[in-house]
Structure 1
Amino acid sequence: YKAEAEAAKAEGRHVGVGISMGGFIITIGAFDVAEVALELNPDGTITHYNTWEDMGQGGDIGTLTHTVKALEPLGIKPGQVKLVMNDSKICPDTNLAAASRSHYMAGNATIDAARQLMDAMRKDDGSWRTYDEMAAEGIPTKYTGHYDQFNIGLDPGLDPNTGEGEKNPTYMYGVNVALVEVDVNTGKTQVLRYTWVGDVGVVGNMLSVEGQGYGGLSHSIGFALSEEYGAENKHGSMIGCGIPQIDMIPDDINLIFQETPRPAGPHGSCGCSEVFQSSGHMAVINAINNACGVRVYALPATPDKVKAGWEAKQRGEDLTPPKYYLGTDFEEELEMIKANPL
């Protein structure tokens, strides 16, 4: 990317490279809990019940992947798993879709349900009971899997007197690199290429996780360049809010995975969705600065802001805005904690 940008600059174009890095928590912490249920059906298939709300984070394929993996000793295939999801009358409470927790918590609950079901199906000789055999012996064929983080050593929150603590079992990590070109006459920015390198644990279904990546990074590009949600009366539709169009997203998006198994994660995995949205926009903003020297401080970096910044820069003006209050700084917060012990 850097070599390509330098070659373009030698031709008089404003092309630049930006990098950013970020991560995201997994689960809502020490008080998180999730339940699912697995049922053996008369025809030998399995029904999985949960309330993993699918808001674009792959609840169905995640449920299917976890189920097939957890029941691997039975030789269960994807076509033998039926999904009953988000019917609160008959499904256990898998809890909220937030904090990239659903895959992690539902996955561990699925492992627990699978353990119970296989323990019930297992004969003394190590073979498996059929549905009919279990029914004849009066053995239940449906089991609720439970997973919580109440007593696994996580802090309930930060220590109020030190600001220290760890309430999350693991994290996801990512580095973003963007190559952009800026038309300084119009202020328009085009993302030419984008690469993400990160670690979300063991990947169970690469196609699904890549889909998360492409969608999340597209959102990041939109967040950097076009998305504005503040003026509800002005923007009457999602398109009006600046959701990126297809011509804003580069065809060249490269995802590189470092798979480090998470010891307490289901099958070594963890969540992935929010790592693709936590910092990707800043790679684009940094690339604009590298391309033409314009630092955009208030997102999105719309053409009018970039053009105005370029023109101000040509006049020798300082683009740094006056400091505005966003809350206490880190050092101020530490001083407040020290001065007001609990």
Structure 2
Amino acid sequence: MKATITLLPGDGIGPEVVAEARRVLEAIADTYNHEFTFHEGLIGGAAIDATGTALPDETLALCTAADAVLLGAVGGIKWSDPKAAVRPEQGLLKLREGMGVYANLRPVVVLDALADASPLRPERVRGVDVMIVRELTGGLYFGTPQGQETIDGERTAVDTLRYHEREIRRVVQLAFELARGRRQKLTSVDKANVLASSRLWREVTHEVAVEYPDVVCEDILVDACAMYLINRPADFDVIVTENMFGDILSDEASMITGSLGMLPSASLGEPGTPGLYEPIHGSAPDIAGKGIANPLATILSAAMLLRSSLGLAEEAAAVEAAVARVLADGARTADIARPGQPRVGTVEMGDLVIAAL
């Protein structure tokens, strides 16, 4: 297979972890006789410094023309002023909108080797395998009007939470399809007791559920779901929810595994369009350049890229198995190591995964 992959290293530890994921993809190409062509683009703070904008037109063009996009992370202390006219996160939102990726898939899987890395008791997290599906291009993050103004001498701010039926339907249908191929259970998360947008979300979800009689569908309010993710995480299969709720719940769920450094994600749009793949962690500027960042979330994001955008399921499974094997053998980066346990660096972890392939 020939494929073009756009790399967006971004800021902080982004370049370090993306470099390791690229090496894994190159190893896969060599092993399975594929030809991957890589292009790099600027995004986030690095793009602001170089061009004055968080997502140059040239970068977006590279992304929409590729078969898939692999992103590192954006942001950092240098660009953290909330009053700044241009911020790194604007590049990420513009990228999602420009690529038309409306569904963010975040798998939360606890490997046996890391059950003791979770802050929860091992018996509570062992066997957890949850797919969180987050609507990505609607809701509060994109609603208008949005902004801050002064009225009668007092500062006021407004954000608009708006959803169209079609936005809800397409992401819920995708979640049902995923549930059908897993354990046939879907949990829809909303705040229908308070929000009109959530009541529409629930109505549309129930309409879509009729098309999937083989999938058990339940509704849970977002505050209850936040509790149940800690109390009984293994009960969940597929969770689907709106943009902000998904953002918060998926970060909460990441702690079930013990580290943000272990969790990949895929952002998908209509069939035939390129997907966007990235670790769910941030740019971690405090450890950038130290060679200690965990590259596994980015490597696992590359595995999702192989499966979902390139249709290479065997190759994706090989990467995931290599990661599991390395962890089972005891290799640990600083974020998942127990006190006194030997630690490996970013490049060394990449070396180990490639060797395990």
Shorter-chain TM-score range? under 0.3
State the TM-score, normalizing by the size of structure 2: 0.21
Q: Taking CA–CA contacts closer than 8 Å with sequence separation of 6 or more, which of the two structures ends up with the larger relative contact order?
A: 1
Q: Mark the structure with the bigger radius of gyration.
A: 1
State the TM-score, normalizing by the size of structure 1: 0.22
